[in-house]
Amino acid sequence: MIGDQKILFSGMQATGTLTLGNYLGALKNWLELSDEYECFYSVVDLHSITVRQDPAELRKRARNLLTLYIAAGLDPKKNCIYYQSHVSGHAELAWILNCFTYMGELNRMTQFKDKAAKHADNINSGLYTYPVLMAADILLYQADVVPVGKDQMQHLELTRDIAQRFNAIYGDVFTVPEAYLGKVGAKIMSLQEPTKKMSKSDENANASIYLMDDPDTIIRKFKRAVTDSEACVRYSENQPGIRNLIDIYCACTGKTPEETEKEFDGKGYGDFKMAVGESVVSVLKPVQERFADLSKDKAYIDGIIKENAEKANYYATKTLRKVQKKVGFPERIR
């Protein structure tokens, strides 16, 4: 806890391009949290290199992601927005926590199995110990809460287990984090396979809306979105494609599914898809314009990077020195 506020940690990987799903499901919700919590939002570029990256492209995407955080409305004075790789405490704490994590626990991580299947030519130990680095990310800032999706819940449970195990040995060192259970963002599915999440790594370009897509591209992708043969706009489990489009429309307009059904009662899918596309264009336009302006102001973004790295390092070092002392490392001579 910092002052009277609880601490919240979250982050996104600096790989691929952010999708509408990332924005509506996470980033848009982050804007409402900075009044309630002391927030640390990381560009988690250490996690990114478990898969081979082009170095220049990784640097570019990391900067774009950090700029997008601000373009989306996150105030870098109220929120600590920083590169994970600029805070060495993440990697240092991860090594210590590796020594308090059991092989059996890591063997049960379903994401490792999924990623190993996708990258069979590069099953590295970083991919295997990824959840421990994630635990270090969270525990380094003594985070009280972490917004997590269903696919990350297993990692948060491991983080809690590691923190409790360490505390049982050395006393009350780490805050044991809880899942953030406040307002949950819309879960946005693929436009081409509406039974799976929209993904920035989808090979089908028509499956995802990217935050930097121009209006024509957005409208075209929605026109091609998979629907069904029922020809009515109804929020039903039996119509996953239409249900997904309704979720997107509601997230962009603030309307309810019931209001949306009434609005498009008797209208065809063509009209509905066009309306959804236009609502997305109107939501993304100010973000895109702000991103373009910020990208031109190199000195401003560089200043944010430096200032927030210093802030993150300050809080990370407090935790790290405490942990190093507890495990028996020699104190540093100042």
- Tokens read off for 267: 């209208």
Is 325 considered catalytic here? no
Give Cα 146 to chain centroid, integer Å.
11
Instruction: Given the residues 6, 113, 118, 200, select the one marked as catalytic.
Output: 200
Maximum distance among all Cα pairs of the chain, rounded to whole angstroms:
76
Point out which residues pair with 179 in neighbouring strands: 146
- Please tell me the distance from the alpha carbon of residue 164 to that of residue 185, in angstroms, as a whole number: 29
**Which tokens is 112 given?**
């490792």
Catalytic pick among 60, 77, 113, 115: 115
Amino acid, res. 101: T
Q: Which of 28, 197, 221, 273 is catalytic?
A: 197
Is 200 one of the annotated active-site residues of the chain? yes
Sign of the dihedral through C-alpha 181, 132, 83, 312? positive
Contact 263/250 with Cβ under 8 angstroms? no
Nearest to 33 by CA among 67, 99, 81, 92: 81
| Secondary structure (3-state) at 318 | helix
Could you tell me which of 34, 35, 36, 28 has the C-alpha nearest to residue 12?
Answer: 28
User: Hey, which residues are catalytic here?
Assistant: 115, 197, 200
